[in-house]
Amino acid sequence: MTDKKLLFTGATAPEKREGWQGLRQFTRARIGLSRSGNAQCTKDVLAFQESHSKARDAVHIPLDIAHLQAEMGDTPVICVSSQAPDRQTYLRRPDLGRRLNAESLAGLSHGAWDVVFVAADGLSSIATQKEALPLYRAMCKRLLGWRIAPLVVATQSRVALGDEIAQKMGAKIVVMMIGERPGLSVADSMGVYLTYAPYVGCPDSSRNCLSNIHTYGLSTSAAADKLTWLMQEAMRLKETGIGLKDSSPENGIIENTPKIS
Protein backbone atom coordinates (compact mmCIF):
# COMPACT_ATOMS: atom_id res chain seq x y z
CA MET A 1 0.00 0.00 0.00
CA THR A 2 1.38 3.34 -0.97
CA ASP A 3 2.17 5.70 1.85
CA LYS A 4 1.19 9.20 0.71
CA LYS A 5 3.48 10.73 3.33
CA LEU A 6 6.45 9.18 1.51
CA LEU A 7 5.32 10.56 -1.83
CA PHE A 8 4.65 14.09 -0.68
CA THR A 9 6.86 15.22 2.16
CA GLY A 10 8.32 18.51 3.35
CA ALA A 11 8.83 21.25 0.76
CA THR A 12 7.96 18.92 -2.11
CA ALA A 13 4.30 18.51 -1.16
CA PRO A 14 2.04 19.87 -3.96
CA GLU A 15 0.55 22.62 -1.84
CA LYS A 16 4.04 23.85 -0.91
CA ARG A 17 5.37 23.57 -4.47
CA GLU A 18 2.55 25.80 -5.63
CA GLY A 19 3.81 28.41 -3.20
CA TRP A 20 7.04 28.68 -5.18
CA GLN A 21 5.37 29.25 -8.54
CA GLY A 22 4.87 32.94 -7.94
CA LEU A 23 8.58 33.36 -7.32
CA ARG A 24 9.78 31.31 -10.28
CA GLN A 25 8.82 34.11 -12.68
CA PHE A 26 11.61 36.20 -11.14
CA THR A 27 14.50 33.71 -11.21
CA ARG A 28 16.06 30.98 -13.32
CA ALA A 29 17.26 29.26 -10.16
CA ARG A 30 15.93 25.76 -9.58
CA ILE A 31 13.44 26.39 -6.82
CA GLY A 32 10.29 24.44 -5.99
CA LEU A 33 11.39 21.24 -7.75
CA SER A 34 8.92 18.39 -7.66
CA ARG A 35 9.61 14.86 -6.42
CA SER A 36 8.26 11.41 -6.94
CA GLY A 37 9.00 9.50 -3.76
CA ASN A 38 12.67 10.02 -3.02
CA ALA A 39 13.59 11.01 -6.61
CA GLN A 40 13.16 14.15 -8.65
CA CYS A 41 10.44 14.10 -11.28
CA THR A 42 11.54 13.25 -14.81
CA LYS A 43 10.80 16.69 -16.24
CA ASP A 44 13.15 18.35 -13.77
CA VAL A 45 15.90 15.77 -14.40
CA LEU A 46 15.58 16.33 -18.15
CA ALA A 47 15.60 20.10 -17.68
CA PHE A 48 18.84 19.82 -15.69
CA GLN A 49 20.45 17.68 -18.40
CA GLU A 50 19.35 20.17 -21.05
CA SER A 51 20.93 23.05 -19.12
CA HIS A 52 24.15 21.05 -18.70
CA SER A 53 24.29 20.43 -22.44
CA LYS A 54 23.74 24.12 -23.18
CA ALA A 55 26.58 25.05 -20.84
CA ARG A 56 28.95 22.64 -22.59
CA ASP A 57 27.88 23.96 -26.01
CA ALA A 58 28.49 27.54 -24.87
CA VAL A 59 32.08 26.69 -23.99
CA HIS A 60 32.95 24.62 -27.05
CA ILE A 61 30.96 26.11 -29.99
CA PRO A 62 33.29 28.47 -31.92
CA LEU A 63 32.41 32.13 -32.31
CA ASP A 64 30.84 32.63 -35.77
CA ILE A 65 33.12 35.42 -36.99
CA ALA A 66 31.77 35.35 -40.54
CA HIS A 67 28.27 36.01 -39.22
CA LEU A 68 29.48 38.92 -37.08
CA GLN A 69 31.30 40.43 -40.05
CA ALA A 70 28.20 40.05 -42.21
CA GLU A 71 26.10 41.82 -39.57
CA MET A 72 28.59 44.70 -39.49
CA GLY A 73 28.25 45.21 -43.25
CA ASP A 74 30.77 47.75 -44.57
CA THR A 75 31.91 48.77 -41.08
CA PRO A 76 35.53 47.62 -40.57
CA VAL A 77 36.17 44.73 -38.18
CA ILE A 78 39.60 43.57 -37.01
CA CYS A 79 39.98 39.89 -36.12
CA VAL A 80 42.68 38.73 -33.71
CA SER A 81 43.53 35.57 -31.76
CA SER A 82 45.35 34.84 -28.56
CA GLN A 83 48.42 32.62 -28.23
CA ALA A 84 46.16 29.65 -27.45
CA PRO A 85 46.06 27.75 -30.78
CA ASP A 86 42.87 25.77 -30.04
CA ARG A 87 40.04 25.40 -27.52
CA GLN A 88 41.61 22.63 -25.48
CA THR A 89 44.80 24.65 -25.00
CA TYR A 90 42.75 27.74 -24.19
CA LEU A 91 40.92 25.92 -21.40
CA ARG A 92 44.09 24.44 -19.91
CA ARG A 93 46.38 27.48 -20.30
CA PRO A 94 44.57 30.68 -19.25
CA ASP A 95 47.87 32.59 -19.49
CA LEU A 96 48.00 32.04 -23.27
CA GLY A 97 44.52 33.52 -23.64
CA ARG A 98 45.78 36.81 -22.20
CA ARG A 99 48.37 37.56 -24.91
CA LEU A 100 48.02 38.12 -28.67
CA ASN A 101 49.73 35.79 -31.09
CA ALA A 102 52.48 37.30 -33.23
CA GLU A 103 50.36 37.64 -36.38
CA SER A 104 47.56 39.46 -34.58
CA LEU A 105 49.96 41.78 -32.79
CA ALA A 106 51.65 42.72 -36.05
CA GLY A 107 48.30 43.42 -37.70
CA LEU A 108 47.17 46.12 -35.24
CA SER A 109 47.91 49.73 -36.12
CA HIS A 110 48.52 52.52 -33.62
CA GLY A 111 46.08 55.44 -33.59
CA ALA A 112 44.70 58.22 -31.41
CA TRP A 113 41.56 56.49 -30.15
CA ASP A 114 39.49 57.29 -27.09
CA VAL A 115 38.14 53.74 -26.86
CA VAL A 116 38.36 50.36 -28.51
CA PHE A 117 35.57 47.79 -28.14
CA VAL A 118 36.54 44.11 -28.20
CA ALA A 119 34.01 41.30 -28.79
CA ALA A 120 35.65 38.19 -27.33
CA ASP A 121 34.42 34.61 -27.16
CA GLY A 122 35.59 33.94 -23.60
CA LEU A 123 33.81 30.97 -22.05
CA SER A 124 30.49 31.49 -23.85
CA SER A 125 30.69 32.27 -27.56
CA ILE A 126 26.88 32.05 -27.65
CA ALA A 127 26.61 35.06 -25.33
CA THR A 128 29.03 37.13 -27.40
CA GLN A 129 27.25 36.15 -30.60
CA LYS A 130 23.92 37.40 -29.25
CA GLU A 131 24.84 40.39 -27.11
CA ALA A 132 28.06 42.03 -28.35
CA LEU A 133 26.90 43.80 -31.51
CA PRO A 134 23.66 45.21 -30.03
CA LEU A 135 25.66 46.67 -27.15
CA TYR A 136 28.38 48.01 -29.47
CA ARG A 137 25.79 49.75 -31.64
CA ALA A 138 24.00 51.17 -28.61
CA MET A 139 27.30 52.57 -27.34
CA CYS A 140 28.21 54.16 -30.67
CA LYS A 141 24.94 56.10 -30.52
CA ARG A 142 25.67 57.28 -26.98
CA LEU A 143 29.34 58.22 -27.45
CA LEU A 144 28.94 61.07 -29.93
CA GLY A 145 32.21 62.93 -30.36
CA TRP A 146 34.33 60.03 -29.09
CA ARG A 147 37.09 58.62 -31.30
CA ILE A 148 36.01 54.98 -31.49
CA ALA A 149 38.46 52.47 -32.97
CA PRO A 150 37.25 49.75 -35.34
CA LEU A 151 35.58 46.86 -33.55
CA VAL A 152 37.99 44.06 -32.66
CA VAL A 153 36.76 40.44 -32.61
CA ALA A 154 38.98 38.19 -30.51
CA THR A 155 39.02 34.39 -30.27
CA GLN A 156 40.42 32.10 -27.56
CA SER A 157 40.39 35.24 -25.46
CA ARG A 158 40.54 36.03 -21.77
CA VAL A 159 39.64 39.45 -20.33
CA ALA A 160 43.25 40.66 -20.19
CA LEU A 161 43.72 40.23 -23.94
CA GLY A 162 41.99 43.58 -24.33
CA ASP A 163 44.85 45.30 -22.49
CA GLU A 164 47.39 44.37 -25.15
CA ILE A 165 44.96 45.25 -27.96
CA ALA A 166 44.33 48.73 -26.54
CA GLN A 167 48.01 49.30 -25.79
CA LYS A 168 49.02 48.43 -29.34
CA MET A 169 46.20 50.51 -30.89
CA GLY A 170 46.81 53.53 -28.65
CA ALA A 171 43.33 53.57 -27.10
CA LYS A 172 42.74 55.35 -23.77
CA ILE A 173 39.99 52.92 -22.77
CA VAL A 174 39.26 49.32 -23.64
CA VAL A 175 35.77 47.84 -23.34
CA MET A 176 36.00 44.05 -23.33
CA MET A 177 32.66 42.38 -24.15
CA ILE A 178 33.16 38.70 -23.31
CA GLY A 179 31.10 35.56 -22.77
CA GLU A 180 30.85 34.69 -19.10
CA ARG A 181 31.47 31.26 -17.63
CA PRO A 182 28.13 29.44 -18.23
CA GLY A 183 26.15 28.14 -15.31
CA LEU A 184 23.35 25.61 -15.13
CA SER A 185 20.75 28.37 -15.18
CA VAL A 186 22.18 30.75 -17.80
CA ALA A 187 24.56 29.76 -20.60
CA ASP A 188 24.36 32.94 -22.70
CA SER A 189 25.37 35.69 -20.28
CA MET A 190 27.86 38.36 -21.37
CA GLY A 191 30.09 40.49 -19.14
CA VAL A 192 31.74 43.84 -19.91
CA TYR A 193 35.08 44.93 -18.46
CA LEU A 194 36.06 48.59 -18.62
CA THR A 195 39.72 49.59 -18.20
CA TYR A 196 41.30 53.06 -18.43
CA ALA A 197 44.91 53.28 -19.64
CA PRO A 198 45.28 49.49 -19.99
CA TYR A 199 48.64 47.80 -20.31
CA VAL A 200 49.97 44.26 -20.38
CA GLY A 201 49.96 42.99 -16.80
CA CYS A 202 47.20 45.40 -15.74
CA PRO A 203 45.63 44.14 -12.46
CA ASP A 204 41.93 43.26 -12.24
CA SER A 205 41.55 45.91 -9.53
CA SER A 206 41.89 48.48 -12.34
CA ARG A 207 38.72 47.31 -14.06
CA ASN A 208 34.99 47.98 -13.68
CA CYS A 209 32.64 45.16 -14.59
CA LEU A 210 29.04 44.89 -15.75
CA SER A 211 27.84 41.30 -15.72
CA ASN A 212 24.73 39.23 -16.34
CA ILE A 213 23.83 40.81 -19.69
CA HIS A 214 21.27 38.47 -21.30
CA THR A 215 17.58 38.20 -22.10
CA TYR A 216 16.47 37.75 -18.49
CA GLY A 217 19.28 39.72 -16.89
CA LEU A 218 20.64 43.20 -17.53
CA SER A 219 19.16 44.50 -20.80
CA THR A 220 21.29 45.95 -23.60
CA SER A 221 19.79 49.40 -23.07
CA ALA A 222 20.38 49.38 -19.32
CA ALA A 223 23.93 48.07 -19.78
CA ALA A 224 24.65 50.79 -22.35
CA ASP A 225 23.36 53.51 -20.03
CA LYS A 226 25.54 52.26 -17.16
CA LEU A 227 28.59 51.81 -19.38
CA THR A 228 28.22 55.30 -20.83
CA TRP A 229 28.14 56.81 -17.34
CA LEU A 230 31.20 54.78 -16.28
CA MET A 231 33.16 55.73 -19.41
CA GLN A 232 32.42 59.43 -18.99
CA GLU A 233 33.54 59.24 -15.37
CA ALA A 234 36.63 57.25 -16.33
CA MET A 235 37.67 59.97 -18.76
CA ARG A 236 37.06 62.65 -16.13
CA LEU A 237 38.89 60.86 -13.31
CA LYS A 238 41.46 59.19 -15.60
CA GLU A 239 41.03 55.86 -13.82
CA THR A 240 38.80 52.81 -13.48
CA GLY A 241 38.52 49.96 -11.00
CA ILE A 242 38.64 50.66 -7.28
CA GLY A 243 38.93 54.40 -7.96
CA LEU A 244 35.64 54.54 -9.88
CA LYS A 245 32.48 53.67 -7.98
CA ASP A 246 29.30 52.91 -9.90
CA SER A 247 26.85 55.62 -8.88
CA SER A 248 24.95 55.64 -12.15
CA PRO A 249 21.14 56.00 -12.04
CA GLU A 250 19.31 52.67 -11.92
CA ASN A 251 16.47 53.84 -14.23
CA GLY A 252 14.09 50.99 -13.35
CA ILE A 253 16.49 48.16 -14.21
CA ILE A 254 14.70 45.65 -11.98
CA GLU A 255 11.20 46.73 -13.01
CA ASN A 256 12.06 46.40 -16.72
CA THR A 257 13.64 42.94 -16.46
CA PRO A 258 11.50 40.38 -18.40
CA LYS A 259 9.77 37.74 -16.29
CA ILE A 260 10.61 34.06 -16.80
CA SER A 261 8.05 32.48 -19.10
Q: Could you give the domains of the chain? A: 65-237 (3.40.50.11240)
Q: What is the pTM of this model?
A: 0.85
Contact yes or no for 202/176 (Cβ under 8 A): no
The helix (H) or strand (E) run that includes residue 17 is helix 14-24
More confident site: 120 or 261? 120
| Among the ranges given (15-29, 65-79, 162-176, 239-253), the one the predictor scored with the smallest mean pLDDT | 15-29
| Termini Cα distance of the chain | 39
Q: How far is residue 72's CA from residue 138's CA, in Å, rounded to a whole number?
A: 13
For residue 18, is pLDDT > 80? no
Q: Is the dihedral of CA 254, 216, 224, 156 positive or negative?
A: positive
Binding site as annotated, residues: 159, 180, 209
Per residue in 29-76, pLDDT (tens digit) is: 888 888 888 888 898 899 899 999 999 999 999 999 999 999 999 999
Count of C-beta atoms within a 10 Å radius of residue 16: 13
Q: Quick one: pLDDT at residue 254?
A: 55
Binding site as annotated, residues for adenosylcob(III)alamin: 159, 180, 209
Computed on alpha carbons and rounded to an integer, the radius of gyration of the chain in Å comes to 21
For residue 227, is pLDDT > 90? yes
Mean of per-residue pLDDT scores for the chain:
89
Per residue in 89-101, pLDDT (tens digit) is: 999 999 999 999 9
Q: Quick one: pLDDT at residue 238?
A: 96
Amino acid symbol at 184: L
More confident site: 2 or 83? 83
> HEC profile for 216-256?
CCECHHHHHHHHHHHHHHHHHHCCCHHHCCCCCCCCCCCCC
Q: Which of 33, 38, 27 is nearest to 3 (CA)?
A: 38
Phi-psi sector, 37: left (phi>0), alpha (psi -120 to 50), beta: left
Per residue in 120-157, pLDDT (tens digit) is: 999 999 999 999 999 999 999 999 999 999 999 999 99
Q: How far is residue 100's CA from residue 257's CA, in Å, rounded to a whole number?
A: 37
Q: How far is CA 222 from the centre of its chain?
A: 14
The DSSP secondary-structure symbol of 6 reads H
Contact yes or no for 241/202 (Cβ under 8 A): no
102-110 own/partner pairs: CB under 8 Å, 24+ apart = 104/80, 105/164, 105/168, 107/78, 107/80, 108/78, 108/80, 108/165, 108/168, 108/169, 109/169, 110/168, 110/169, 110/170
Q: Quick one: pLDDT at residue 6?
A: 43
Q: How far is residue 148's CA from residue 143's CA, in Å, rounded to a whole number?
A: 8
pLDDT band for 175, please (50, 70, 90 cuts): very high
Q: Quick one: pLDDT at residue 15?
A: 52
